[in-house]
Amino acid sequence: MFSLPRPSAGPRRRIATALGVLGAALALTVTTVGGASAAPDPGRDRTDVKPGEAYMGVGTRIHEGIPAGEPSLGVMSPTDGVQGIDVSHWQGAINWTSVRNSGIQFAWIKATEGTTYKDDRFNTNYPAAHGAGVIRGAYHFARPNVSSGATQANYFVNNGGAWSRDNLTLPGVLDIEHNPYGAMCYGLTTTQMRTWINDFYTTYKSRTSRDVVIYTTASWWNTCTGNWTGMSSKSPLWVAHWTSAASPTLPSGFPTWTVWQYTATGSVSGVAGNVDRNKFNGSRDRLLALANNT
């Protein structure tokens, strides 16, 4: 039987060899880049934070066993409605004009932690967000085991947490969540925790005339305050629940949510890397009403 001659294997071998060399080069490049950053990733998803480095949701990551960098199911949640973000120094330099142009209408920015730490990018982020037309506010990362609620509220107000009716400033936020530095409830009993939160609230209101917004999770609140219902009629709720569900799980006593942090691994133009994404429960007019206390 007549058979066609087999094509030479030479070109095939040369292609395979070239691909092998290219693959090795790429592997070397990846290895080299990885090796050059042998220190822990200084990015937003780190959980080995030191005092002063905490950010919204870090305690939840640690205590609920969510690995750093792990995508949350919340990235699948719809990004409809009035959208916002929250940031700290972990996001680095932010282009707030790009953030606003991408559809983000509001942002809360870390100002303080405990009574000795002020976020080192707050003085840049806060006016820049305002200048770009983002309705912005400040947040305080609570450390109930280091000083009283009143002391920390005063520190917050004195270092960025104050409020003014200018159509672009939201009331301050008390970020109270799993302790990223130790025991989940900071070593306080449920009664002590309730007192601490109420003292923060009362002091903040006396200094600013505003009800502080409470950021928390259902699991932390129910455990560390003992299913306390005492704040539901006073403070707007900002609930963190990273889920693809249509609505978040609420802490005991709160009939609804005002803001929902639905993912910790969102992306927004103008921000490098992961950023928390949030949704406001209402229209832009209602958001402005919250900002202006009307």
Residues with catalytic function: 86, 175, 177
CA neighbor of 275 nearest in space, from 136, 75, 98: 75
Q: Is 291 helix (H, G, I), strand (E, B) or coil?
A: helix
- 10 Å Cβ neighbour count for 179? 23
Residue with tokens 């009362």: 202
* 201 within 8 A of 211, measured Cβ to Cβ: yes
| Pair of tokens at residue 167 | 């159509």
Q: Would you give the distance in Å from CA 282 to the centre of its chain? A: 20
- 10 Å Cβ neighbour count for 52? 16
Distance (Å, rounded) from C-alpha 199 to C-alpha 191? 12
Distance (Å, rounded) from C-alpha 9 to C-alpha 93? 54
Is the torsion defined by CA of 173, 141, 56, 218 positive or negative? negative
CB burial of residue 175 (10 Å; 0-12, 13-18, 19+): buried
For residue 72, report the phi and psi dihedrals to the nearest 5 degrees. -90, 155
| Cα within 13 Å of Cα(139), Cβ side | 26
* 161 within 8 A of 192, measured Cβ to Cβ: no
| Pair of tokens at residue 222 | 């129910």
Taking phi first (over 0 means left), then psi (-120 to 50 degrees means alpha), and beta for anything else, what does residue 227 get?
A: left
